[in-house]
């Protein structure tokens, strides 16, 4: 039950709200809420156009065996229809591929599902030379989930089979001499292009990707249209033969 003296201190609460804002921005009294023994919070409409839907909340308190009520706290709180800023998103979650620049650091979370401790690499995904001495090697390696995410991203991206370049290629990367397979399970589907003239040079490409720089690409003879012959018209006029009669054609000849 609300303390009688604290509940009746509406004018005191209003004056506190006006003191931190302006009398023009404090509207009607919306009600009160008992917060504890002799503590009541009064709510007022906020008329500030920059805070539509917000309300002033002023908490008043009466000390034990005291007659006077004092202000404890004055704040501006959002109402049900208040305009709020979007939820804050950590910087690491806002990043997108390509956002990282020189000097930027992106720490990997300890519980990142894409990674597992290096000693759990039972499938031999990592280079065995890394473990030539006990205790040396990478602390973490890709998990099965991490490999699946990367494979899906690569195969459905610009180096996969669905691009216009791949669809118009003479053959797939799997048969190209410039295709260097990756290690581990990735080599079943992916490799790196080693052709300096190819658009994907130095990038991961899928076996069913392709481009016009395939090592076995052959230019078909006669496929290139030849230019029309150059005719010297200085000594005579060129007349289309379809418009000449037989006599005219013999006369020109």
102-120 per-position pLDDT tens digit: 776 666 777 888 778 877 7
Q: Which of 54, 40, 36 is nearest to 12 (CA)?
A: 40
- What per-residue confidence (pLDDT) applies to 252? 52
Q: Which long-range contacts (CB under 8 A, 24 or more apart) does 78-84 make?
A: 78/53, 78/54, 79/53, 79/54, 79/55, 80/53, 81/52, 81/53, 82/51, 82/52, 82/53, 82/54, 83/51, 83/52, 83/53
Tell me the CA distances in angstroms from 145 to 94, 142, 148, 149, 151, one per residue in order: 21, 8, 5, 6, 10
Q: Which of 123, 98, 138 is nearest to 184 (CA)?
A: 123
243: three-class secondary structure by DSSP: helix
Q: How far apart are CA 49 and CA 30, in angstroms?
A: 18
User: What average pLDDT score do residues 166-172 get?
Assistant: 90
Tokens of 6: 């604290």
Q: Which residue has the higher pLDDT, 130 or 36?
A: 36
185-217 per-position pLDDT tens digit: 898 999 999 988 888 999 999 999 999 888 887
Question: Would the pLDDT of 23 be above 70?
Answer: yes
Q: Provide the residue ranges of all domains of the chain, joining segments of one domain with +.
A: 4-78, 110-219
Instruction: Tell me 152's DSSP state.
Output: H
- Single pTM value for the model: 0.47
The helices-and-strands tally (H runs, E runs) of the chain is: 6, 9
Tokens of 123: 């499938």
Q: How far apart are CA 109 and CA 209, in angstroms?
A: 33
41-78 per-position pLDDT tens digit: 999 999 999 998 999 999 999 998 888 999 999 999 99
Alpha helices in 36-185, H assignment, sequence order: 91-94, 144-155, 164-167
Q: Which of 62, 76, 75, 64 is nearest to 9 (CA)?
A: 62
Phi, psi of 135 (to 5 degrees): 95, -10
């Amino acid at each position: 039950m609300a303390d009688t003296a604290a509940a009746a201190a509406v004018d005191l609460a209003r004056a506190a709200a006006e003191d931190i804002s302006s009398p023009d921005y404090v509207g009607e009294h919306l009600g009160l809420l008992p917060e504890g023994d002799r503590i009541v919070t009064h709510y007022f409409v906020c008329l500030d156009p920059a805070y539509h839907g917000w309300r002033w909340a002023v908490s008043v308190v009466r000390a034990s065996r005291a007659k006077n009520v004092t202000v404890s706290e004055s704040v501006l709180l959002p109402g049900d229809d208040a305009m709020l800023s979007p939820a804050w998103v950590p910087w690491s979650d806002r990043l997108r591929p390509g956002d990282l620049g020189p000097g930027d650091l992106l720490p990997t979370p300890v519980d990142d599902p894409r990674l597992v401790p290096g000693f759990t690499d039972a499938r031999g995904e990592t280079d065995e030379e890394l473990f030539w001495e006990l205790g040396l090697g990478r602390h973490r390696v890709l998990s099965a989930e991490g490999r699946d995410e990367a494979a899906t991203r690569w195969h459905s991206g610009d180096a996969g089979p669905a691009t216009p370049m791949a669809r118009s290629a003479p053959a797939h990367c799997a048969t190209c001499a410039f295709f260097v397979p990756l290690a581990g399970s990735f080599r079943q589907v992916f490799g790196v292009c080693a052709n300096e003239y190819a658009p994907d040079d130095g990038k991961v490409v899928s076996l069913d990707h392709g481009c016009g720089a395939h090592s076995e690409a052959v230019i078909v003879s006669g496929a290139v249209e030849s230019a029309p012959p150059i005719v010297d018209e200085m000594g005579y006029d060129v007349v289309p033969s379809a418009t000449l009669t037989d006599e005219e054609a013999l006369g020109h000849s």
